[in-house]
Amino acid sequence: MKQFAIVLALAAVASGQDPKPTMIGPHRLGESFDEWMIAAKLDLTDICGQHPRSDKRMDYKQVCKTLTTLKAGGKGWFRLEDYKNDATFTWSFINARTTTAESLHLTPAATVLAQLTQAYGMATANRVVPYQNALGAKWECLEADWMLPDGAIIMAKETIDSLAHFSRWTKVTFYTKEAAAALANQPKLPNPFLTK
């Protein structure tokens, strides 16, 4: 499937067409800050305006500061809650553009992977990863990756928290082509446990 995604990307370039951009709901991965604000239905002027002290919907002063920094090209992130789909999306920005989006879902992993497959086609890679806690209990978690024609990468990973209470959740991370390349080209950190 990896070769298929690469062939699609090459075919789009060869035909002079740009590959279809990766969409996440109303958002385009890699969109500008202003485009993101419109899709998120947020109004910076309203957020930074005057609000009665009794209005506790958000910490307007902090949200205004964060969004103003992101709009000016600062590096950072902003979290949006998707109560309808029981998910949280954290958007990362560099130079006033989205670079990654990370979503956390309490929905079962099989459901999240089915939704991703419906939206983006078959995964490039699927894995079942075994886990075991200190008491010997074993679980299997699902993981899947998508390589998309526009160079974006999606990585989905089911995780288990068995320390305080048992819960399963799925993290889905969307990377722009540039963010994926930066991640792949990160220098290896020296191993602090090896002697020199």
Its pTM surpasses 0.85: no
In a domain, 192, yes or no: no
CA distance 72 to 44: 12
User: Residue 196 falls within a domain, yes or no?
Assistant: no
Does residue 194 lie in a domain region? no
- Structural domain boundaries enclosing 119: 2-184
Tens-digit pLDDT profile for residues 70-105 = 999 999 999 998 888 778 999 999 999 999 999 998
Task: Indicate whether 193 belongs to any domain.
Answer: no
Domain total of the chain: 1
Answer yes or no: is 191 within a domain.
Answer: no
Question: Does residue 129 belong to any structural domain of this protein?
Answer: yes
> 170 falls in which pLDDT band (50, 70, 90)?
very high
pLDDT of 28-73, one tens digit each?
Answer: 999 999 999 999 999 999 999 999 989 988 999 999 999 999 999 9
3-state secondary structure the chain: CHHHHHHHHHHHHHCCCCCCCCEECCEECCCEHHHHHHHHCCCHHHHCCCCCCCCCCCCHHHHHHHHHHHHCCCCEEEEEEEHHHCEEEEEEEECCEEEEEEEEECCCHHHHHHHHHHHHCCCCEEEEEEEECCCCCEEEEEEEEEECCCCCEEEEEEEEECCCCCEEEEEEEEECHHHHHHHHCCCCCCCCCCCC
Q: Is residue 65 situated within a structural domain?
A: yes
